[in-house]
């Protein structure tokens, strides 16, 4: 018998729904079995309701069955930790890692500028790794990576490690696409100053600090070498169900 799996996703905003101009507070993704739906919904609701970015007045939780035959299982990435003493040194490490991935200096600066700008986007932007031009047309919504989780999700412990786990699941899915050159991310949560550079070849490099406590700016950039099939790439990121092996 085929075991049904469900994708659960949450988005929360303040000042109304995102599409009505509300400010993004939080989002989350789970893939769970039928019997764990309630637990996952509770976890995501708790995340939305007790978020350091502020009080959400719009929360949407979507539950969708996914065909377990469509699910791909992929390996997790190698993790490296780069800890620096200052934000400037942290950002210098980001620049060095991205240069090694073949991302141009122009693109690197545009990506950092983008993540340091407001308003915060709900999803990621897709950027040409050479020109630094933004390639997607998703405006402030950005591209939301969905349908991704750890293979044995639901067993995680505290919320501190949970944040890194969620980020590593997203990064593994993004890096698994041959279209992705590299990803740059840091949190938009004011209490979390660690970010990462990730790629299929070199894995997941946690880098800190990339901002100061209290800073609400953060975001994600996926670098690609153009021209790409944008529709196919976004479809993979949003819709292909992926479980990351522990």
Residue for token pair 């939080």: 26
Out of 189, 200, 230, 240, point to the residue binding ligand WAQ (CB under 6 A): 189
Distance of CA 239 to CAs 40, 42, 143, 166, 234, Å? 19, 23, 11, 17, 8
Show the binding pattern over residues 203-232: x = contacts ligand WAQ (CB under 6 A), - = does not: ---x-----------xxx------------
Unique residue bearing structure tokens 């075991």: 3
| Of 2 and 97, CB closest to ligand WAQ | 97
Classify residue 27 by its DSSP letter.
Answer: E
- Residue 195 touches which of Mg ion, ligand WAQ, none (CB < 5 to 8 A by kind)? ligand WAQ
Q: How far is the CB of 174 from ligand WAQ (least distance, A)?
A: 8
Shorter beta-carbon distance to Mg ion: residue 151 or 189: 189
Rounded distance, CA 14 to CA 8, Å? 21
- Cβ contacts of 46 within 8 Å, gap of 6 or more: none
Which of these, 28, 26, 29, lies nearest to 7 by C-alpha position?
29
Write down the least CB distance from residue 1 to ligand WAQ, Å.
31
Q: Which is nearer to ligand WAQ, 27 or 132 (CB)?
A: 27
Is there binding between residue 166 and Mg ion (CB under 5 A)? no
Measured CA angle at 120 (ends 116, 124), to 5 deg: 90
Is the omega angle on the peptide bond into residue 137 within 30 degrees of 0, that is, cis? no
Residue 106, number of CB atoms within 10 A of its CB? 14
The region of 64-72, 87-95, 103-111, 190-198 touching ligand WAQ under the rule CB under 6 A is 190-198
Q: Which span sits near Mg ion by CB under 5 A: 39-47, 76-84, 185-193, 233-241?
A: 185-193
Candidates 71, 79, 189, 206: give the one binding Mg ion (CB under 5 A).
189
Residues numbered 159-188 forming contacts with ligand WAQ, rule: CB under 6 A: 163-164, 167, 170, 185, 187-188
DSSP code, position 109: H
By CB under 6 A, tell whether 111 contacts ligand WAQ: no
Decide: is 188 part of the binding site for Mg ion (CB under 5 A): yes
């Amino acid at each position: 018998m085929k075991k049904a799996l469900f994708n659960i996703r949450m988005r929360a905003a303040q000042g109304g729904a995102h599409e009505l101009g509300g400010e993004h507070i939080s989002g989350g993704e789970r893939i769970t079995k039928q019997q764990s739906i309630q637990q996952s919904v509770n976890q995501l609701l708790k995340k939305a309701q007790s978020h350091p970015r502020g009080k959400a007045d719009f929360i949407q939780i979507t539950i969708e069955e996914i065909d377990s035959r469509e699910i791909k299982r992929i390996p997790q990435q190698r993790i490296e930790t780069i800890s620096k003493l200052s934000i400037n040194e942290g950002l210098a490490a980001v620049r060095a890692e991205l240069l090694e991935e073949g991302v141009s200096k122009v693109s690197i600066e545009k990506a950092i500028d983008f993540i340091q700008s407001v308003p915060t986007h709900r999803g990621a932007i897709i950027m040409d790794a050479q020109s630094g031009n933004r390639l997607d047309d998703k405006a402030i919504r950005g591209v939301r990576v969905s349908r991704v989780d750890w293979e044995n999700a639901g067993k995680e412990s505290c919320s501190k490690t949970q944040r890194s786990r969620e980020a590593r699941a997203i990064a593994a899915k993004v890096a698994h696409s041959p279209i992705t050159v590299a990803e740059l991310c840091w949190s938009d949560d004011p209490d979390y100053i660690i970010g990462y550079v990730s790629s299929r070849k070199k894995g997941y490099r946690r880098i800190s600090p990339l901002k100061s406590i209290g800073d609400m700016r953060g975001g994600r950039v996926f670098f690609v070498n153009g021209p790409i099939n944008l529709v196919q790439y976004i479809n993979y990121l949003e819709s292909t169900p992926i479980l990351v092996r522990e």
